[in-house]
Structure 1
């Protein structure tokens, strides 16, 4: 999961805004609150948005007051944010935050696809329409031209959809274990699974 977020980078960007509020507009044009992984960071960015709209200073005191009014103030998290080293060039950091946000969105979509395909048993056409809609939203949210990692994830996901479609209504999506009850519990063994067979004493050699 660590490759899905970087809290130090998130803190650095938010800290940079607090130390130089003039850069907020430029950053806000590229990031949304949900692009941040940590909920507190999302709340801070949203508070900055509201302060900017109200034409109030984006500084420590006004942020604290705004967050307290939202019921989202966290003193420890705020101190961690303020102690982060502010950065002068945020471009690379913004790209990193955006890329990880897109990867999280794709991972969530992959889980949703599995649910609607296997558990909800939706028709393949509905699943494909859902995927196209969600992928469009994700790519629209990503302003980074270098989208290779997410593209690879997407292609892999589409291959998985085709595999699931080929299985029809079968709940077995991995390798057949040879035992019906075990298949029902595990949906079959997946690639890379570590399988440990345990038994009680005196169950044979």
Structure 2
């Protein structure tokens, strides 16, 4: 009994020692009731749960509700809403509301009071995170995993830094539906097809609506299909569009681009930069690497490099990252550079954080779940590249399908969208028959070669992006143009615009 009394007393003492300024809360509420216009400046940042005194939070909510109905918020109009509040009765009932408006000088510092209330709420959240971290760190049982505790603490700290706190993920249906309408408005304003971040490819935007926040997208394909090229193209297009929209005075809420974080576990940062430079200068990446360029080419290269020097594209080429380390780095980039899109090349090169003994399928499952969690936590689209199994090569039709995703069905399950890159010319080129010579008399050799040439010409320089799964829309195929020399994907002109159709 005595022990329980001591615990309650300790908890009460800890509660009283939390950072707070109840006087500032009272002064702010009084100012809001005197001049309702102040709400416009504070409501975007300040929530009711930021108030230390719960009754102050309820008064703040009541003020917002009245203003949302285009009514005046003052002690008289608030009285019917607060009469039954037991905590308010202890403070004097509705008379307390009138008492709050007694200090007209609070109007001068109202915005400063709101800032202080918000900052103190964050400090209280930090205290909570610290206490929980200490409690868990003192637990030395066998089931303890220090690395998972570190990541959990980092997640909690990130939420505090973003102003979310414990209740940040709970939204009323009004909030959720308002966000849905904003997404629809964004798509309408863009011309009716782009509700997320642009891919830079109109045909892809029309099919998937752009890159949507909190979505995990898998881009899969066999080696040589151009997965990295497509991801690099999209990353560049999103970053470049962000710069253009900024220069046009478009705010971040309506910007169709985003700063990009590119985690390259396979290629180095300079190799990725070479690809982007090749795409923008029109010089083949092979010529760039080997220095086989003219003075004019070098001038184009210098121009492209100058134009791209402020590109918000951040490349992390650290090899052998664990999923926990990647999430840590992503949070840091989000905090420092306001990252709006993340690319991982590629998923199978990530490592799980599970202890030894787990098989690879379980490890990939952990990684795919971790990437989906990251997309939701940071509220950004995450694009992860993935290898496919060799089963594709055993079929006559080489087009990949969901069952070809390598090592784990959880990739298909966790992803909001799965896209496959397929280049038929890659396989047609591998089937080249014998080229006829003057000494050949067999007409079949010439016929086979002519048929192959025609087939190769029909598919050369084209690619398909196959949408195998899409939670927000339909599946299907998108035909694209692919320039292998500069590793660039672009929109393919419709057949109706073919050269043969022009006079």
Shorter-chain TM-score tier: 0.5 to 0.7
Deviation at 1:87, TM superposition (A): 2.0
- Asked whether the 8 Å contact 1:64–1:73 carries over to 2, the reply is no
The answer to whether structure 1 residue 5 and structure 2 residue 20 are counterparts is yes
- Any idea what SS the aligned residue of 2:73 has? coil
Equivalent residue in structure 1 for 2:102, among 68, 79, 83? 83
Relative to the length of structure 1, the TM-score reads 0.60
| Distance change in 2, residues 1:130/1:15 (3 Å) | same
Structure with more relative contact order (C-alpha pairs < 8 Å, separation 6 or more) = 1
Query: For each residue in 1:155-197, what CA deviation from the matched residue of structure 2 results, as whole angstroms up to 9, or x when unmatched?
Result: xxxxxxxxxxxxxxxxxxxxxxxxxxxxxxxxxxxxxxxxxxx
**Which residue of 2 is the match for residue 130 of structure 1?**
152
Report 1:85-164 matches (<5 A): 85=104, 86-119=106-139, 122-141=144-163
Query: For each residue in 1:17-58, what CA deviation from the matched residue of structure 2 results, as whole angstroms up to 9, or x when unmatched?
Result: 000011112111121111111111111111112222222221
Relative to the length of structure 2, the TM-score reads 0.26
| Distance change in 2, residues 1:123/1:29 (3 Å) | same
Structure-1 separation of matches of 2:135 and 2:17:
24
Which runs of 5 or more residues in structure 1 are unaligned? 143-205
Which runs of 5 or more residues in structure 2 are unaligned? 1-15, 165-503
- Asked whether the 8 Å contact 2:66–2:72 carries over to 1, the reply is yes
- Asked whether the 8 Å contact 2:25–2:56 carries over to 1, the reply is yes
Aligned residue-pair number: 142
Structure-2 separation of matches of 1:120 and 1:79:
54
Deviation at 1:114, TM superposition (A): 1.9
Q: CA RMSD in A?
A: 2.5
Q: Which protein is bigger by CA-based radius of gyration? A: 2
- Any idea what SS the aligned residue of 1:141 has? coil
Moved more, 40-49 or 79-88: 79-88
- Asked whether the 8 Å contact 1:43–1:72 carries over to 2, the reply is no
| Distance change in 2, residues 1:50/1:72 (3 Å) | farther
- Asked whether the 8 Å contact 2:19–2:120 carries over to 1, the reply is yes
